[in-house]
Amino acid sequence: MASKRLQGVPASGTVALSNLVSLMKMQGRDIISFSMGEPDFDTPENIKEVCKASLDAGFTHYTPSPGIPELRKAVASKAFSDNKIHCTAKNVLITPCKHAIFMSALAFLDPGDEVILPDPSWVSYEACIRLAGAKPKYIPTNFDDNFVIDPNLIAEAITPKTKMILLNSPSNPTGSVMPCGTVKEIANIAKENNLTVLSDEIYESIIYEGNHHSIAAMPDMFDRTITISGLSKTYAMTGWRLGWAIASEDKIKELDKLQTHSISCCVSFTQPAAVEAITGPQEKKDTMVREFRRRRDLAIDLIEEIKGLDVNVPKGAFYLFPRYASKVKSEILCTKMLEEARVAVTPGSAFGPSGEGFFRLSYAASEENIREGLARIKTFIQNL
């Protein structure tokens, strides 16, 4: 029997769906998948070459638990140049992004603490919060405001138990990007109420309109913020499981303590390749973002032709979050869509109560699949 802590937490909806789609494809079923949030591009060649060379050079043993010094330094320089976050290598822990979120919850939350987060938001935040014994407090966001969180609602939700605000911009699943003014207002609320901020910025470089603003760069915010990002989405490196946390030295020490008791360190031979990803040529990354934008526009045009679906234009990430007209629960709709239309999308309810009535479509897929998949969705929705 699993622990009581784990019994209350479902498996990841996104990963479970991706496992199901892989199984169906292995059985020879013709499925078009818009389920998993991962670029369909290959990792750029220069990055793979450095990884191969590291293996050949025998760089196959443990590294220091917080990561190799060159990579910590490269991340700190990138944080300064891209995010205006003033930090040094000592403020960086190399760790898989999801593990960074999991460890941040374990390290900085106590049972009974409350965490404020946008609704809808990525499936694993609630699970990490609950596994730490804390409680998620969802702040609804809505279609008409492009799913941008309202700082006034955050301020109203604060109680003596509130410990943390969790942010994710650009957002998974809505693609919304927080404007600078919103980030500033949230920073002020965090300071006034002495709250920790956990800011997941994994989609930071996939932005089509506007700019990315790191809350840790706002005045007096660095010491209370844990900024998380990584290589998965920016460089099409999801399978490498490589990211980082940036925070004050004392917070990094606590996270590193957990790292020493969990994974010890990240995979050794991938770390020099991560240095190459961050410091090497960036053209491939820019090409991928341009291509995502083209696919976003194509998918939106095709969805706008479907009666019964509404979609807004997200400014970042690679997700669309269409609203459908029927009263059917999103989990049932998506199961039927997979069985009848052979298209996999993630039910909106997996991302929180405000996600009901929506589904998430990842357009990090080929143009051919976007066209064929949306033609199938059109027939399916019109026959509902």
| Site residues for ligand GLU per CB under 6 A | 12, 14-15, 36-37, 98, 122-124, 172
Q: What is the DSSP letter of 100?
A: H
Q: Is the peptide bond before 353 cis (omega within 30 degrees of 0)?
A: no
| Three-state secondary structure call for residue 365 | coil
Between 73 and 98, whose beta carbon lies closer to ligand GLU? Answer: 98
CA distance 268 to 201: 24
Nearest to 11 by CA among 127, 109, 104: 127
How many C-beta atoms surround the C-beta of residue 294 within 10 A? 12
Between 50 and 350, whose beta carbon lies closer to ligand GLU? Answer: 350
Residue 222 CB, shortest distance to ligand GLU, in Å, is 26
Between 272 and 352, whose beta carbon lies closer to ligand GLU? Answer: 352
Residue 99 CB, shortest distance to ligand GLU, in Å, is 11
Residue 12 CB, shortest distance to ligand GLU, in Å, is 5
CA distance 289 to 317: 9
Closest residue by beta carbon to ligand GLU = 37
Between 38 and 113, whose beta carbon lies closer to ligand GLU? Answer: 38
Beta strands in 169-314 (DSSP E): 196-200, 225-230, 243-246, 309-310
Tell me the chain's radius of gyration from C-alpha atoms.
20
Residue 176 CB, shortest distance to ligand GLU, in Å, is 15
Cβ contact 309:323 at 8 Å: yes
Between 79 and 345, whose beta carbon lies closer to ligand GLU? Answer: 345
Between 95 and 162, whose beta carbon lies closer to ligand GLU? Answer: 95
Q: Is the peptide bond before 173 cis (omega within 30 degrees of 0)?
A: yes
| Three-state secondary structure call for residue 268 | coil
Q: Is the peptide bond before 160 cis (omega within 30 degrees of 0)?
A: no
Residue 355 CB, shortest distance to ligand GLU, in Å, is 12
Residue 202 CB, shortest distance to ligand GLU, in Å, is 8
Beta bridge partners of 319: 362
